[in-house]
Structure 1
């Protein structure tokens, strides 16, 4: 049996029998994250699970596998491998999972519609992205919560104008308005609770961070308690960016947001010497798996990857451009310029 995105339950591909999985949210616990654990690379007291992990010989991506899979196709580079003796490893168990809602057929249709929106894309691009190149992967993420309190001080500058006498270039003087800045020292504080700062834990997708961020517009209210049965029939990547490193990313993100908020409080037309001191407390985390369709293939010798959000169907990625279409566009632009130039000469 495998989890069916269409039916939202387990389904047998041979007889059609189905089995429901409870969609509960009772165990989505936030676990405490202390600065000691982060700075010293120590794992917190969180549940772990033993998994069979396959490492792709081509790109190095690590995914969990079932022992009865005869062959494995890497979702990240498309390499096909015979099922090896995968190593066993203990991992922090996910607290939650967002089950796939977009089926493979729906993902392909979304992709074809997206490709068709770009006139400059090659005409045979749709054929290049074959259906067997689409792989549904549960991508690992960390979420972080924290209470932030910031004290700030700085100077806000306000524009004003004064009339000054300046040479008029003819031996005389003339009045002119000159812009100046009036500086006012200010200070204050800002407090905010940050909920579910989402940090991707996949190094394989790190080089496509912008595309992943664009595709990762998930509604986390749909995350349910982790149950390994949701992963039946799907790939699940093992986190390759660990908890301490991800926690530091979240810390940097929160402090950047606090600086922006304090800057907004400082006000003024311009600012200088803004200093923000931020303290974080009640820091917690959880490990979750989010659904993503990945299409990896080579077009004219160059590798491309397209991402389809497994919950919303939103697409992100880079499309190859057709050289002859670009050339046609340039020629058309040149002809248009020559046309208007010839009219202007008449």
Structure 2
């Protein structure tokens, strides 16, 4: 199903004053910031459909609904985000560059199947940040008071989810420890008996089967490439995914996926195969293992495209900028914090002192 690019596609006027309604995380419905009027959005799960992964290799544009949207390409960092067509200005959520009257381009995108709406408001996100930024013993004592958040933006980040049935045959050798008595020199011309550990190896094989549901892969190359703590805030409750409705995006930005389904599928398959190898190793047992070989077959592979909420921001401390992220659903925070040289020095000194005490006691 094709939908043409209409300027009014993302406009829902307030029935009371005519201003633009936006999605409110606190109220979980559309709300007018001018007069307070609210309008409900149905949270349905009737259209969440998995798409066959094998068909994606032959052109998955035909498998899902597409929509023409206005896309802003940041001239500074290259990030691409969908924007409301009548926005006079836009600030890049990833590098903070402010742009006036951007020259947006129209592109065809796979429309998301689902979305997790924002649950944390901007104020709630800032409160989570204040708690997180001061929760580090190694941080400077004045960090909480001196950290100034700058340009905190709520952005819907694109993800792919993958399902697959995995069937694995495995074989290898499990080793079991046992001890035997041996005679060793006591250094005085005599011998003493000691227990020496050895390994008894057993060949084993078996079969493991599991279904993997909603293996999550981020589809934002910009975010994954710029921040090393994305995984820390990517723990979403996917049971709260609802049918995609563009009204959830009113007042928010949404990044365009820059990692396609084929590339993400490879990452997902690698993750599933690793999990299968770990499961087979657990089945094989033993105190130690060697020569484990696992052959995994994947079937019933499907995918879907979803949008997940994330607060992206930076803060300034002593003239230096630090990045942090806040999960827009759970409130989990991750980012970079400066370290106090004095506190790090104290910790090192205490550790060295502890080691010296242990050495002294061992010699007594």
TM over 0.5: yes
Structure 2 residue corresponding to 1:137, chosen from 148, 155, 163: 155
Once the 2 structures are TM-superposed, how far is the Cα of residue 116 of structure 1 from its aligned partner?
A: 2.1
Deviations 1:117-153, CA, capped at 9 Å, x for gaps? 22443425555433x5211010111100000000000
1:5 and 2:20 are equivalent in the alignment? no
Further displaced range: 143-152 or 161-170: 161-170
Q: Equivalents in 1 of 2:147, 2:227: separation in Å?
A: 24
CA RMSD of aligned residues (A): 2.6
Shift of residue 297 of structure 1? 4.0
CA contact (8 A) 2:161 2:217 kept: yes
Q: 1:325 to 1:163 in 2, by over 3 A?
A: closer
Q: Which runs of 5+ in 2 are unaligned?
A: 1-20, 358-364
Q: 1:18 aligns with which of 23, 35, 38?
A: 38
Say whether the 8 Å CA contact 1:129–1:295 is kept in structure 2: no
Q: Judge conservation of contact 1:41–1:244 (CA < 8 Å) in 2.
A: no
Residues 61-107 of structure 1 deviation map (CA, whole Å, 9 limit, x = unaligned): 11001121111111111110113221111111100000001100000
Structure 2 match to 1:73: 91
Superposition map of 1:220-231 within 5 A: 220-231=238-249
Q: Are residues 1:216 and 2:216 paired?
A: no
SS in 2 for 1:196: strand
* Alignment match, 1:32: 52
SS at match of 1:205: helix
Cα contact 2:146–2:317 (8 A) shared by 1: no
TM-score, structure 2 as length reference: 0.85
Which of residues 241, 244, 261 in structure 2 aligns to 1:243? 261
Give the 3-state SS of the residue equivalent to 1:136 in structure 2: strand
How many aligned positions are there? 335
Task: Give distance in 1, aligned partners of 2:42 and 2:52.
Answer: 27
Match of 1:62 among 72, 75, 80: 80
TM-score by length of 1: 0.89
Cα separation, partners in 2 of 1:298 and 1:182, compared to 1, 3 Å: same
Distance 2:320 2:273 in 1: 38
Unmatched tracts of structure 1, length 5 or more: 341-346
In the aligned structure 2, how far is the partner of 1:116 from the partner of 1:297?
13
Name the counterpart of 2:136: 118
1:94 aligns with 2:112: yes
The reply to whether residue 104 of structure 1 matches residue 138 of structure 2 is no
1:166 paired with 2:180, answer no
Report how far residue 208 of structure 1 moved: 6.0
**Deviation sequence 1:12-50 (CA, Å, 0-9, x none):** 22222221111000001011101x745x78656222221
1:99 alignment partner, SS class: coil
* 1:288-330 CA-partner distances (Å, limit 9, x unpaired): 0000111124545644211111111111112122446556x46
